[in-house]
């Protein structure tokens, strides 16, 4: 199979810098079946072909799409026990990212869904840089600091970050994520204020249910008190629909629907999205969340990532009075420590100077 050079660059970044696969080692690619048009149908074959060209022992294992991965498939667990590396091109890996998957080999969840993404700077930008950037962001936010989140639609939330980010390069999940696009989730239990809900509520990728989203025509304000939804303000019909959706999901899974568990924002300036989010909110929510123009809250359920995602567009985030994001721009990238990090990776600075602004909102 002939593979274009830019596509090879993205796959090499995955195999070498993220998975750290060496010639002669084994790689199992878990490919999702029956999940609609979530992943490209040919992506697993392309990655496998390039892996074999690099002398990896690659196998592809098909697994059905499941709505709830609370019971992890035994055949995948057995495979992970026998291979050096496992790559998930299947949402089941994402669903199980907060659980111990066992096995001695590496495990990686891929959030790039097609060849177009792999051929872009989203995938070819050095994975190791973004792991280090994540650590710098964690250190800047965590440490019992006063954090303020605002947006033009009316969000104004204030809280105190926990004392310790406990960053280990993977941190908040049990597998590696490719590309690395977000920092460690910040618990929301100290945050209070106003949270603007606009455009939609969408799923978190924890479990899949129908209906999984609510479209919002205007802006509804959620009143937040120490990490809980105390009420909504806005158009009566939309408030009714939002409350009904929360009640539906909470009752379905017997969980606390008013919890705002945690939040984080995007740190990858090349994380775009080629289509319109509204055409497939499930796919968009699972792949576009790393753009710095986007911040999301994990809600409905006292666990990460919860079941309902609240989106904040073009956020501003200040930490102890220092602005880290400003209207969707990652100002933190202009700090001396990040500039020093960028200098170690040729071409990285330019990726921040020319960010991908279109990530599915249909603005261009």
- What's the CATH number where 10 sits? 3.40.50.11840
Asked if 327 and 193 sit in the same domain, the reply is yes
Determine the pLDDT at residue 101: 73
Decide if 361 is inside a domain: no
Residue 292 gets the label, from left (phi > 0), alpha (psi -120 to 50) or beta, of: alpha
Decide if 364 is inside a domain: no
Determine the pLDDT at residue 313: 98
Dihedral of the alpha carbons of 112, 116, 122, 126, in degrees to the nearest 10: 90
Asked if 245 and 260 sit in the same domain, the reply is yes
Q: Which of 201, 204, 202, 199 lies closest to 152 in space, CA to CA?
A: 199
Q: Which of 185, 188, 169 lies closest to 177 in space, CA to CA?
A: 169
End-to-end CA distance of the chain: 35
Asked if 91 and 179 sit in the same domain, the reply is no
Choose the final residue of a domain: 124, 149, 165: 124
For the segment 64-91, the average pLDDT, to the nearest whole number, is 88
Query: pLDDT for 191-243, tens place per residue?
Result: 999 999 999 999 999 999 999 999 999 999 999 999 999 999 999 999 999 99
| Dist CA 145 CA 135 (whole Å) | 16
Question: Is the predicted pLDDT of residue 69 greater than 90, yes or no?
Answer: no
Q: In this prediction, what percent of the chain has a pLDDT beyond 70?
A: 96
Residues 268-288 as b or e (16 or more Cβ within 10 Å = b)? bbbbbbeeebeebbbbbbbbb
Decide if 358 is inside a domain: no
Decide if 360 is inside a domain: no
Determine the pLDDT at residue 59: 97
Asked if 18 and 161 sit in the same domain, the reply is no
Domain count, the chain: 2
Asked if 41 and 102 sit in the same domain, the reply is yes
Asked if 68 and 178 sit in the same domain, the reply is no
Look up residue 321 and give its two tokens.
């009075």
Query: pLDDT for 112-171, tens place per residue?
Result: 999 999 999 999 999 999 999 999 999 999 999 999 999 999 999 999 999 986 654 444
More confident residue, 100 or 25: 25
More confident residue, 304 or 174: 304
Decide if 262 is inside a domain: yes
| Dist CA 267 CA 348 (whole Å) | 13
Query: pLDDT for 312-350, tens place per residue?
Result: 999 999 999 999 999 999 999 999 999 999 999 999 999
Containing structural domain, residue 71:
5-124
| Dist CA 224 CA 191 (whole Å) | 7
Choose the final residue of a domain: 124, 151, 176: 124
Looking at the DSSP bridge assignments, the partners of residue 29 are: 60, 87
Q: Is the dihedral of CA 273, 142, 202, 193 positive or negative?
A: negative
More confident residue, 250 or 65: 250
Determine the pLDDT at residue 37: 85
Relative to beta strand 106-110, strand 85-89 is parallel
Decide if 359 is inside a domain: no
Question: Taking the model in full, what pTM does it have?
Answer: 0.95
Q: Which of 33, 361, 28, 16 lies closest to 198 in space, CA to CA?
A: 361
Please, are residues 250 and 300 in contact by the beta-carbon 8 Å criterion?
A: yes
């Amino acid at each position: 199979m002939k593979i274009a050079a830019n596509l090879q660059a993205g796959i090499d970044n995955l195999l070498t810098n993220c998975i750290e696969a060496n010639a002669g080692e084994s790689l199992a690619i878990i490919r999702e079946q029956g999940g609609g048009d979530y992943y490209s149908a040919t992506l697993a074959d392309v990655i496998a072909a390039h892996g074999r060209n690099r002398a990896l022992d690659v196998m592809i294992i098909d697994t059905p799409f499941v709505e709830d991965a609370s019971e992890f498939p035994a055949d995948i667990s057995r495979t992970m026990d026998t291979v050096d590396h496992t790559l998930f091109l299947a949402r089941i890996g994402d669903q199980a990212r907060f659980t111990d998957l066992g096995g001695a080999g590496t495990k990686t969840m891929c959030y790039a869904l097609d060849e177009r993404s792999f051929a872009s700077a989203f995938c070819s930008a050095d994975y190791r840089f973004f792991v280090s950037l994540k650590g710098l962001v964690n250190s800047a936010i965590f440490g019992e600091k006063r954090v303020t989140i605002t947006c033009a639609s009316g969000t104004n939330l204030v809280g105190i970050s926990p004392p310790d980010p406990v960053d280990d390069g993977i941190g908040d999940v049990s597998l590696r994520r490719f590309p690395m696009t977000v920092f460690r989730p910040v618990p929301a239990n100290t945050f209070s204020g106003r949270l603007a809900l606009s455009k939609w509520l969408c799923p978190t990728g924890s479990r899949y249910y129908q209906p999984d989203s609510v479209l919002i025509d205007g802006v509804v304000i959620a009143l937040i008190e120490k990490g809980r939804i105390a009420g909504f303000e806005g158009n009566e019909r939309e408030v009714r629909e939002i409350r009904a959706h929360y009640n539906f999901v909470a009752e379905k899974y017997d969980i606390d629907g008013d919890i705002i568990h945690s939040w984080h924002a995007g740190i990858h300036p090349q994380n775009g999205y080629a289509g319109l989010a509204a055409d497939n909110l499930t796919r968009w929510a699972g792949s576009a969340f790393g753009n710095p123009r986007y911040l999301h809250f994990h809600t409905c359920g006292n666990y990460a990532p919860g079941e309902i995602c609240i989106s904040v567009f073009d956020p501003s985030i200040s930490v102890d009075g220092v602005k880290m994001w400003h209207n969707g721009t990652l100002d933190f990238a202009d700090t001396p420590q990040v500039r020093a990090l960028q200098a170690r990776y040729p071409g990285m600075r330019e990726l921040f100077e020319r960010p991908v602004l279109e990530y599915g909102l249909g603005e261009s």
